[in-house]
Amino acid sequence: MANETAPQVNPAALGLISFGLTTVLLSLINAGILPIAGEQVVIPLAVALGGSAQMIAGVLEVKLGNTFGATAFIAYGAFWWWFALLLVWGHNGIIDLSQAHTTIGAALLLWGVFSLLMWISTFKLTKVLFYIFLTLWVTFFLLGSGALFAMPVLTQYGGMLGLVCGSLAVYGSFAAVANATYGRKVLPV
């Protein structure tokens, strides 16, 4: 009997779709396409998909020994949990966010710095990851600057670029699934 091993599953497909769909939905609000009241719809998606499912993908990347994938998926999964908790606790009066716009802006800028540093590692990875992280760090800088300097137009631009970033992540997930399903390169990454 031959020793057959199961093909290796690529957890990046789960991580990218988790990040991508959640990012697209929030970016539609930040871009002004959907109303701000729609944030209430983003919260459960941020917890279930953007947060939890993405962290699961990160843990699976740990098992594969992929430092980049583990760091990215677990960190951005934690970002979505932070975002959801910020909204839930803020809207329910558990924390007072009335004077927090500059601190939220600083937090988003810090995420931009982290994303910029992660982007540097993508120079040796796929083109789709290069473009996801390029658009991601710029998106965070726009969103952070918009909050820090009370400039809604920067938030709107951040939302528009976030749509590009999230769409690239959705494409990256689709490409990973299609390429694995067909056992060959169907879509470029």
Mind giving me the DSSP string for 127-163?
A: HHHHHHHHHHHHHHHHHHHHHHTT-HHHHHHHHHHHH
Which pLDDT score is estimated for 4? Answer: 64
49: DSSP letter: I
Instruction: Measure CA of the first residue to CA of the last residue in the chain; give whole Å.
Output: 37
Which pLDDT score is estimated for 47? Answer: 98
What backbone phi and psi angles, to 5 degrees, belong to 145?
Answer: -65, -40
**Cα atoms in the Cβ-side hemisphere of radius 13 Å centred on 3:** 0
Which pLDDT score is estimated for 3? Answer: 56
Predicted model pTM: 0.94
Which pLDDT score is estimated for 6? Answer: 64
Predicted confidence pLDDT, tens digits, the chain (189 residues): 555 676 688 999 999 999 999 999 999 999 999 999 999 999 999 999 999 999 999 999 999 999 999 999 999 999 999 999 999 999 999 999 999 999 999 999 999 999 999 999 999 999 999 999 999 999 999 999 999 999 999 999 999 999 999 999 999 999 999 999 999 999 999
Dihedral over alpha carbons 71, 129, 52, 11 (to 10 degrees): -90
Which pLDDT score is estimated for 8? Answer: 83
Which pLDDT score is estimated for 101? Answer: 93
